[in-house]
A and B are shown apart, each in its own frame.
Chain A
């Protein structure tokens, strides 16, 4: 039984506890949102995507039934490919958000789907039966960007600041690091490397974009900006395009064959100057641009999509397209229709005719999967699009992975304005 003296003490403790809980709640400590993104890859009628919990799933697209809006079935059972990412502490305090299992888009080569996970490991899963590689290649940091395969080499950057080149002919992926690698930068690499004519381009949070000889792993040149670079470079017509956290978008001459040979022979790396700079953005660039018909299309975290002259990026070809949220997902192209498609954090899809510059906005109600009229006011029914989308030019289907607390895959046909099917990736067991 409680004494009279104990009761007031307990009530005070209760008040203190309630105050502490109120403080936690007001500081956003109680419920960390589970947002993240993994891009979609379609290869040989199989769709690959990573889930929030760190599984890789393969959906056999031939089993989808469009008339019934029936989502495709698994080609093989979802595979756990990511280790523990930490609990986030008591009540997830101190974390603004919970990390996703993988952020990069998987890549496929010779019957293997390669995965670079947030736990810092690279591994593969067999595209036939879903068997997981016996070992993993380990980096010392989280992997946020994607991978690129050039010939028999896979390039991947890590938050440990290194760019790794893995030889895919080596049976044990744990021992597949090529001689002369990794290439070390001074900051986290969250950018996806890009390979063009024997040169791999990668950006780093140390403010630099690097051009590296693929054969030797030697630096050819570096281009320095005024802030971290988290976006992925685009190489088109001898020019490298990239935007940074300094709110600028740059066009830089790509490395020449002579420079590459010199670097391979041990020449000192040089520094590059920008050919042209676009300085009209209101926030960071954190996505890869798209080159089409002499124009550069690039999304920005200031909610806009900019259309720039490829010859001189300082010149805007068209006034920016304003969306209702950050544009993190890179623009994709349906060449036969001449459509540039952009997904935004506002949950809407913007299909822009590259010739006429007319824009059509598609809004999918996340509850009903119906295409609805764009609401005048922002609504929570729309699922933010942050993950890279996949444009299947043959079928005219746009695949994208949206997150609004749930993670849902959509197959959307623009020509008929219909959602063919949707698939929750955050409710997968097994």
Chain B
């Protein structure tokens, strides 16, 4: 923690206070300026992250028909189905580890400590109690510009940045911008299961961010808001507005039918294997799935 403080928290905190001092002692403007600067510095990583996500989504969409074919073709041989699926992934350049091996994860891992440091810098700079101030003193450089404006004034527009927004405007703005950002990076899909997942994410994330913006000091809410707005601008250049206004296509009848048919088949097969016992348990993922199926069926029965 000490090392992270030294290389991340302290520089960010001191720059935040210098910016505040330069920007007429206005802490709100300081937070906005710092968020923009940090976002600009991290822009290459953000672009890698977004482009990688977009490319992966496109590749997956392109692969979908082939995957369906494999699914149908090897419905009775899960092991073979898995081998063929892996082969397709390999050919398309998708790692079997999914996002775990993608540049997306790497860039997220690099950015995460910076965001945590930025968050902590805002909290520390807004020191209210005397002991907060003692802690702040240990993270400041000897720069006159950093200490000149202390203690910072938390007043910005209608907000006290050290407290909650009494009018709920900031949390609502944070939730709304987060929803737009989320929607922009989610391509429409015909898969009903994917649709429900997307819908849940589009509701849960903005709600969570709005709740945090309400619970935390408004200084952090302001940081969330500026971050979301910057992300919307960046995403516009990657995805455009199309995802924002696109309506989710109605589930393809074929898919729906297939899903139903597969369910019926699986139920029949489960019932069969329940009576026959576990005659053919393969190895690997396919084998594992085949071993799990009877259990699921049992559970369903008990339900």
Contact = CB atoms under 8 A, between A and B. Distances in A.
Chain A bound to chain B: yes
A27 B118 CA distance: 10
Interface string A73-110: 00000000000000001110111111110010000000
Interface of B: 116, 119-120, 123-124, 126-135, 137-138, 142, 144, 147-148, 150-151, 162, 164, 193, 196-197, 200-201, 204-205, 208, 212, 215-217, 220, 303
Given A36-B131, A205-B150, A94 B123 contact: yes
A119 B202 CA distance: 42
Nearest to A103: B130
Contacts of B129: 36, 95-100
Given A20-B208, A94-B220, A301-B138, A35 B131 contact: yes
Instruction: Across the A-B interface, give the 7 residue pairs with the lowest CB-CB distance, nearest first.
Output: A94-B217, A90-B215, A96-B132, A99-B129, A1-B303, A227-B147, A94-B216
Contact of B164 (A33, A89, A328): A89
B216 to A, nearest CB: 5
B137 A326 contact: yes
Contacts of A90: 215
A94 B215 contact: yes
16 contacts: A5-B196, A9-B200, A12-B197, A13-B200, A16-B204, A20-B212, A91-B215, A93-B212, A94-B123, A96-B129, A100-B129, A205-B151, A227-B150, A247-B142, A301-B137, A326-B138
B151 A188 contact: yes
Q: Is the interface of B mostly helix, strand, loop or mixed?
A: helix
A1 B204 CA distance: 23
Nearest to B150: A228
Contacts of B150: 205, 227-228, 245
A131 to B, nearest CB: 30
B193 A5 contact: yes
Contacts of A301: 134, 137-138
Nearest to B129: A99
A284 B147 CA distance: 10
Contacts of A35: 131
B221 to A, nearest CB: 10
A400 interface: no
Contacts of B204: 13, 16
Contacts of A93: 212, 215-216
Interface in A240-254: 245-247
B10 to A, nearest CB: 13
Given A27-B116, A205-B150, A96 B124 contact: yes
A282 B138 CA distance: 10
Q: Is the interface of A mostly helix, strand, loop or mixed?
A: loop
Nearest to A16: B204
A227 B17 CA distance: 13
B131 A226 contact: no
Contacts of B127: 96
Contacts of B135: 96-97
A36 B133 CA distance: 11
A228 B200 CA distance: 49
A412 interface: no
A239 B128 CA distance: 32
A205 B120 CA distance: 23
Size bracket, chain A contacts: 35 or more
Given A284-B137, A328-B134, A227 B220 contact: no
B62 to A, nearest CB: 24
B197 A286 contact: no
A378 interface: no
Contacts of A156: none
A133 interface: no
A90 B208 CA distance: 13
A246 B149 CA distance: 11
A144 interface: yes
A190 B147 contact: no
Contacts of A386: 131, 134
A284 B139 CA distance: 12
Contacts of A245: 137, 147, 150
A283 B142 CA distance: 8
A31 interface: no
B123 A96 contact: yes
Given A13-B204, A89-B215, A227 B116 contact: no
Contacts of A286: 134, 137
A230 interface: yes
A23 interface: yes
Given A12-B201, A96-B131, A187-B151, 16 more contacts: A1-B303, A9-B196, A27-B119, A28-B120, A28-B123, A36-B129, A90-B215, A93-B215, A94-B162, A94-B217, A95-B129, A96-B123, A97-B131, A99-B129, A245-B137, A246-B147
Contacts of B131: 33, 35-36, 96-97, 100, 386
B81 to A, nearest CB: 20
Contacts of A368: none
Contacts of B200: 9, 12-13
A26 interface: yes
B147 A283 contact: no
A326 B134 contact: yes
A97 B132 contact: yes
Nearest to A244: B147
Nearest to A282: B142
A190 B130 CA distance: 9
Contacts of A36: 129-131
B130 A27 contact: no
A226 B149 CA distance: 10
Nearest to B199: A9
**Residue of B130, B134, B137 with most partner-chain A CB within 10 A:** B130
Interface string A22-63: 010011100001011100000000000000000000000000
A269 B204 CA distance: 60
A92 to B, nearest CB: 10
Contacts of B212: 20, 93
A89 B219 CA distance: 14
A341 B148 CA distance: 32
Contacts of A12: 197, 200-201
Contacts of A230: 133
Contacts of A284: 137, 147
Contacts of A23: 116
Interface in A218-275: 226-228, 230, 245-247
A1 B124 CA distance: 47
A99 B132 CA distance: 9
